[in-house]
């Protein structure tokens, strides 16, 4: 650990800030071309790395020179898309005899974390296999339950992306940093800083980031770009700003820069985001994360977030998870069945509201995807009725509908739905949302 950090509870350094693919060029030299990698060093000496994109190469070399050998490093992966793992084979500490490198990743994927990482280092793609690395390599799959790394409390939370993806809140001695990248708003309904937030998922994220000293948030798109990218799993700077403002964070780092965005574009992106927040009292300080930049967070005495009760999942059930699809439109049913086909769930179907209630009570599904406008009973009525039944009161219900007005969504949450998805949506987002609810409730 460097001496300088003894003055602050947490030192945060950006080694890679780009999304999707590395883009080294003269146009990106200011904010950097390497993909996601952020170092968090605690006063107690814990080395916590958020994602292992191509920025991890330089970080690895830095650690080998500055850390006592053998090193102990914990890598928290948001997910295993290329731009978040491509630096692993070039991360020097994995080749150090006696060092220990532990990877943390989302529980509930179809393959074990170790398998997912080994696949990238298969001999067709890379000459050294994961099991040939000299350091002691560990894998830990985590859900939303908190855990400790040295003096840091780590609180994970599932985000909204095209695959299971975790955000992390790291709290050390009263300082908190929240990392939420590869995340899209839970609803396309317009959000403005200081405006009302209605979706339970967005409210959950606000609670998760509450009072953080630093929020590192996906801000890949401008407002003009987003309509063409709905369902791709990323945010606008406007959304990041609205979450930061509602959560009263001190600083917001715009992150996961689009490969097409030059330094000049990102300067304007920051300016526009500051303007959005200008009318607020004590707005968060906004900047775009830049490679090589570092911040010290002393903290204001806030503990970890307490906004939500985090359920510790039970042992996964031995049987296949059962998903009930309640929709009178056979084309939509077919599309949902296709979207979930690879996950091996048992899929049940109800074609009207009454059948939805009776099948939910008789067959005890683990999750329900519920349309609104159906014969015999609307989705709002179905959900309200199920919530009065002890056997179905905790059933995760995802309302999937073309009703996209704020009052419709508010009505859904009043009726007791767990989640609300409006059209258009992508199959990958639907699949990941279903999966995260099944992991949350301990089914997978
Ligand atoms: Zn990414
Ligand atoms: Zn991704």
What the block records as the tokens of 389 is 């039944």
Q: For tokens 């529980």, name the residue.
A: 107
CA of 182 to the centre of ligand 2 (A): 5
Query: Ligand 1 centre and the CA of 142: distance in Å?
Result: 19
CA separation for the pair 294, 62 (Å, rounded): 14
Q: For residue 20, how far is its CA from the centre of ligand 2 (angstroms)?
A: 7
Tell me which residues of the chain have a pLDDT lower than 70. 1-8, 189-195, 300-317
pTM of the model: 0.94
Looking at the CA of 162, name the nearest ligand.
Answer: 2
H or E segment at 217? strand 214-218
Which H/E stretch holds residue 359?
helix 353-363
CATH of domain 3-297: 3.60.15.10
CA 167–ligand 1 middle distance (angstroms): 12
Tell me how far apart the alpha carbons of residues 364 and 323 are, in angstroms, rounded to a whole number.
9
For residue 81, how far is its CA from the centre of ligand 2 (angstroms)? 5
DSSP alpha helix (H) spans, 186-329? 200-209, 237-246, 263-277
Task: State whether residue 39 is helix, strand or coil.
Answer: strand
The pLDDT value recorded for residue 49 is 98
Q: Is 82 helix (H, G, I), strand (E, B) or coil?
A: helix
35 CA to centre of ligand 1 in angstroms: 8
Dihedral angle sign, alpha carbons of residues 403, 237, 172, 63: positive
Alpha helices in 1-144 (DSSP H): 56-66, 82-85, 113-120
CA of 20 to the centre of ligand 1 (A): 5
Residue where the block lists tokens 């296999």 = 129
Find the ligand nearest to 84 CA.
Answer: 1
Task: Determine the distance separating the centroid of ligand 1 and the alpha carbon of 81, expressed in angstroms.
Answer: 6
User: Whose atoms come closest to the Cα of 428: which ligand?
Assistant: 2
The Å distance, Cα 119 to ligand 1 centre, comes to 18
Q: By C-alpha distance, which of 341, 354, 412 is closest to 382?
A: 354
- Which strands, in side-by-side order, build the sheet including 175-180? 147-149, 152-158, 166-172, 175-180, 214-218, 251-255, 285-288
Provide the CB-side half-sphere exposure for 340 (13 A, CA): 25
Q: How far is the CA of 162 from the centre of ligand 2 (A)?
A: 7
Residue pair 42/8 in contact by the 8 Å Cβ criterion:
no
Query: In terms of DSSP bridges, do strands 166-172 and 152-158 run parallel, antiparallel, or are they unpaired?
Result: antiparallel
CA 182–ligand 1 middle distance (angstroms)? 5
pLDDT at 130: 93
Q: Which ligand is nearest to the CA of 220?
A: 1
Ligand showing the shortest atom-to-Cα distance for residue 79: 2
Residue 237 Cα to ligand 1 midpoint, Å, equals 15
Q: Which ligand is nearest to the CA of 163?
A: 2
Q: State the architecture of 322-440 in CATH terms.
A: 3-Layer(aba) Sandwich (3.40)
List the domain boundaries for the chain: 3-297, 322-440
CA of 417 to the centre of ligand 2 (A): 27
CA of 421 from ligand 1 middle (Å) equals 22
How many Cβ atoms sit within 10 Å of the Cβ of residue 334?
Answer: 13
For residue 391 the two structure tokens come to 């056997």
Ligand 2 centre to CA of 232 (Å) is 9
- How far lies 308's CA from each of 15, 79, 116, 414, in Å? 31, 22, 30, 18
């Amino acid at each position: 650990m460097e001496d300088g950090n003894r003055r602050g509870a947490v030192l945060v350094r950006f080694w890679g800030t780009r999304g999707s693919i590395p883009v080294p060029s003269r146009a990106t030299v200011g904010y950097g071309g390497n993909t996601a990698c952020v170092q968090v060093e605690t006063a107690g000496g814990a080395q916590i790395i958020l994602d292992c994109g191509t920025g991890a190469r330089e970080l690895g070399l830095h650690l080998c020179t500055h850390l006592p050998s053998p090193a102990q490093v914990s890598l928290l992966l948001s997910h295993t898309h290329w731009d978040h793992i491509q630096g692993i084979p070039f991360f020097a500490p994995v080749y150090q005899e006696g060092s220990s490198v532990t990877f943390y990743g989302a529980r509930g994927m179809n393959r074990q974390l170790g398998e997912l990482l080994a696949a990238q280092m298969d001999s067709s793609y890379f000459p050294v296999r994961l099991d040939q690395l000299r350091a002691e390599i560990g894998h830990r799959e985590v859900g939303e339950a908190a855990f400790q790394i040295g003096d840091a409390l780590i609180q994970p939370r599932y985000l909204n992306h095209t695959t299971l993806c975790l955000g992390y809140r790291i709290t050390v001695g009263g300082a908190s940093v929240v990392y939420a990248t590869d995340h899209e708003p839970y609803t396309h309904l317009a959000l403005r800083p200081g405006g009302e937030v209605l979706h339970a998922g967005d409210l959950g994220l606000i609670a998760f980031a509450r009072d953080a000293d630093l929020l590192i948030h996906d801000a890949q798109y401008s407002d003009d770009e987003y309509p063409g990218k709905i369902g791709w799993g990323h945010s606008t700077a406007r959304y990041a700003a609205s979450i930061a403002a509602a959560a009263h964070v001190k600083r917001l780092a715009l992150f996961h820069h689009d490969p097409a965005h030059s330094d000049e574009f990102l300067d304007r992106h920051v300016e526009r985001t500051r303007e959005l927040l200008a009318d607020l009292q004590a707005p968060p300080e906004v900047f775009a994360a830049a490679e090589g930049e570092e911040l010290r967070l002393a903290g204001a005495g806030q503990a970890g977030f307490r906004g939500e009760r985090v359920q510790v999942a039970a042992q996964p059930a031995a049987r296949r998870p059962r998903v009930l699809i309640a929709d009178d439109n056979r084309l939509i049913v077919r599309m949902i069945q296709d979207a979930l086909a690879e996950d091996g769930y048992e899929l049940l179907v109800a074609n009207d509201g009454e059948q939805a209630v009776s099948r939910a009570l008789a067959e005890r599904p683990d999750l329900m995807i519920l349309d609104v406008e159906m014969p015999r009973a609307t989705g709002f009525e179905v959900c309200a009725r199920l919530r009065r039944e002890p056997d179905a009161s905790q059933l995760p219900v995802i309302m999937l509908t073309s009703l996209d007005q704020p009052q419709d969504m508010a009505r859904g949450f009043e009726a007791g739905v767990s989640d609300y998805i409006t059209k258009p949506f992508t199959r990958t987002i639907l699949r990941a949302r279903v999966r995260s609810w099944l992991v949350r409730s301990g089914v997978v």
